Every structure is written in structure tokens, then in C-alpha cells.
A and B are shown apart, each in its own frame.
Chain A
């Protein structure tokens, strides 16, 4: 029996090498190999992630989580930014599915409508306004792919190991607690998730417009300020470019 820490460390190392080779700038063979390595690393992670429920819920959870992470890796490794944006839409869809599994129905719908429906389409608009044809030179290279891949992977490895140990500790504490107070119904550390009513959108709405009313108003003001700010940035920027002294540089942006 290999200890979970060893499997997590192995998965981290494999995923780091895989993502390093997947990032733009490598040859095709290296990218294929990197994809395989990243998948093996992901499987190592997946074997350590517990899932609850019957086989259907478990399978659903693993399928959605796997699709989300594969789409996330594809988002950062495709060379054409349009493909990146479309894979990011896949990531968002997967996240919405995970929200649904976590019992956050409103957030699942809001993620799809606001993120995938509005923000992502704005991204695609900006890409169409500014992206030259084909793969540009800067999309075919990346900054220090090895260092950044290992930085991210080590961060994830540390985080998951810490989450695992903290959960084990909480489990032990909970077991000790329930053993000490078998008859007592008051259990300090255990959450009441199993006993209380499930979340409903009406509960969320009631909470949002009573306890968080000031925050809603502030968010509205923020949205208005962002709208004005975006308009000002574009109009003032264009006006500044017409002034003498500032000239657009660069020339053609062709794939070379």
C-alpha cells in the first residue's frame, strides 16, 4: 500500500512535466507525450480524491471534475486564443456542473449565464477585433514554461496534501467527539448539513436582499463605475493617440 502523500507527490511531478511539455513552444511529439503525462498525473490525483454517494453520483462527480480540469489544461495549452476561449467555456460549464453537485443551483445558472454567456462572448469579440490570422509568434512561445509549470504544480501539491491532512485531523476529532458524547445530540464540530433543509433559491434570495442589501447596492454602484470607466478608457485612449508624439508601433502582426 503506497501512502497517499507519495501518490500525490508523484501525480504533482507527472502533471508538472506534462504541462511543461504541453505549453506552447514544444514540438508536436513532446506535446502529445505531455498530454499523456498530464492525464496520468490527473488520474493519480483523482484516485486520492474521495467522492460520496452511490456509484452514479461518484461517477458523475469524477466525470465532471475530470472534464473541468482537462478543459482547464487545454485552455492554457492551445496556441490559438480562440480555441483557448472556447475551452475556457468548457471549463465554465464543468464548474457550473460542480456547483450544481454542491447544491448551489443559482450559482450554476449564474455562472452559465453571466460567465459563459456574457463575459466569454465579450472575450471572443475582443479577440475578433484584435487577433491576426493564424498563430502569431507570441502564441507559439511561452515565458519560462518549466518554471511556471513547476511553480503551479508544487503549489497544488502542497495545497492538496495540506487539505488531506487537515481533513484526516478533522475526521479524528469528529470521531473522538462523537465517541465522547454518544448520547448527547449537541455536536460542536460536526456540521448540521445532513439534518437541515437543503438550499433553495428562495432562501438565497431572501438572504441576499435582507442581510446583504448594502452589499448589493455597492455591487450595483461598482458595475456602474466599471461601465463609465470602460467607456472613458476607450474614448480618452483614442483621443490621446491622436495627439502628436504617440504613434502606434509594431506594424504588421503576422505569423512568422
Chain B
């Protein structure tokens, strides 16, 4: 196989795999931020294919398109993260299932499956440092600002 065809083949295959993995993540994850990461991963797959095609045709157009993809991805990240923050403030959850009232009127309500059991090797509560020094006095106003975590 000629080397340039082989290089095109391998880069296109990796781009396809990245796109597919991102698609699986977008379809199956429920955390809005992880869904968004998956979309970015799909963009990476497309960028890789574009660079491979540009190299095969010895044309800078492919790389140029990827430069603009990066610019558009920066815009998209700014807007989408602002939206995610606002959606989070409305419902106090990053769960996309909280917004199922936006579904079509003829679609059934999503029913929660039972939670899988928490496995033993991971702690339900993460370890805390032992407190040291004097506890600062709490101000009621400041406490009300603090989000429950």
C-alpha cells in the first residue's frame, strides 16, 4: 500500500473511533458536563479526519478548517457552560433527566431504574482532614451564600 494512502486510512479510522466513542458518551451519560465533553470528543474525531484529508490532498484547507473548528469550539464552550450553570441553578442538579418536561407531549415519562449498589472499594464519604487551629466564627449572611455540597 502506498504510504500516503496507508496514513490516510489509519488517521480516518482513529477519527471514526473517536467520533463513535463520543457519540456513545453523549447518548448514554446523564451528567450535562460529561455530555458536553463527549461532544467535544466528537469534534476531535472530525478534526483528525480533516487533517488527514488535508495531508492526503496536500492542501492547507483541511488544517485551516480545524483552526476555525477550534475557534468555534471555544465559543461553544463559553455559551454552553453558561447555560449549564444557569440550568444547574434552577434545579440544583446536573442531571439532564430533570429537564424531561421539555419532551414532546406524546412521549412517556422517564422512569428511574433502581440504583446499582455502591461497590465496597469506594468510600461513600471521602476522607476529611483533621481540623486544626481555631474555627472561624460563622457569619449567617455568608453561610446562606454557600452552596450545599
Contacts and interface: CB of A to CB of B under 8 A. Distances in A.
Interface residues of B, number: 92
A73, A102, A139, A237: most-surrounded residue (chain B CB, <10 A) = A102
B74 to A, nearest CB: 6
A115 B70 contact: yes
A226 B116 contact: no
Contact of A139 (B30, B58, B119): B30
A230 to B, nearest CB: 4
A103 B89 CA distance: 44
Contacts of B96: 138
Contacts of A45: 13, 17
Interface string B1-35: 11111111111111011111111110111110110
Classify chain A: how many residues form its interface, as a range: 35 or more
Contacts, number: 319
A75 B37 CA distance: 8
A215 B16 CA distance: 27
A51 B20 contact: no
Interface in B49-81: 51-52, 54-58, 60, 63-64, 66-68, 70-79, 81
Contacts of A186: none
Interface in A73-107: 73, 75-76, 81, 84-85, 88, 91-92, 95, 98-99, 102-104, 106-107
A134 B124 CA distance: 7
A102 B93 contact: no
A122 B33 CA distance: 11
B10 A152 contact: no
Contacts of B98: 249-250
A2 interface: no
Interface in B89-112: 89-98
Interface string A162-195: 0110010011001000000000000000111110
Interface of A: 19, 23-28, 45, 48-53, 61, 65, 68-69, 72-73, 75-76, 81, 84-85, 88, 91-92, 95, 98-99, 102-104, 106-107, 110-111, 114-115, 118-119, 122-123, 126-127, 129-145, 147-149, 151-153, 155-156, 159-160, 163-164, 167, 170-171, 174, 190-194, 196, 199, 203-204, 207-208, 212, 215, 219, 222-223, 225-227, 229-231, 233-234, 237-238, 241, 246, 248-253, 255-256
19 contacts: A19-B24, A27-B116, A45-B17, A68-B14, A76-B21, A76-B41, A81-B34, A102-B7, A104-B63, A111-B70, A130-B85, A136-B93, A138-B30, A143-B27, A149-B28, A155-B20, A155-B23, A208-B64, A255-B124
Interface of B: 1-14, 16-25, 27-31, 33-34, 36-38, 40-41, 44, 47-48, 51-52, 54-58, 60, 63-64, 66-68, 70-79, 81-86, 88-98, 113, 115-119, 121-122, 124-126, 148-149
Which 8 A-B pairs rank lowest in CB-CB distance, beginning with the nearest? A76-B25, A226-B75, A148-B27, A156-B20, A152-B24, A250-B92, A237-B86, A138-B95
Given A130-B88, A163-B12, A234-B86, 19 more contacts: A69-B17, A102-B11, A104-B55, A107-B47, A114-B74, A122-B77, A127-B33, A129-B88, A132-B148, A136-B31, A139-B30, A141-B116, A151-B27, A171-B1, A174-B5, A196-B58, A207-B64, A230-B78, A253-B93
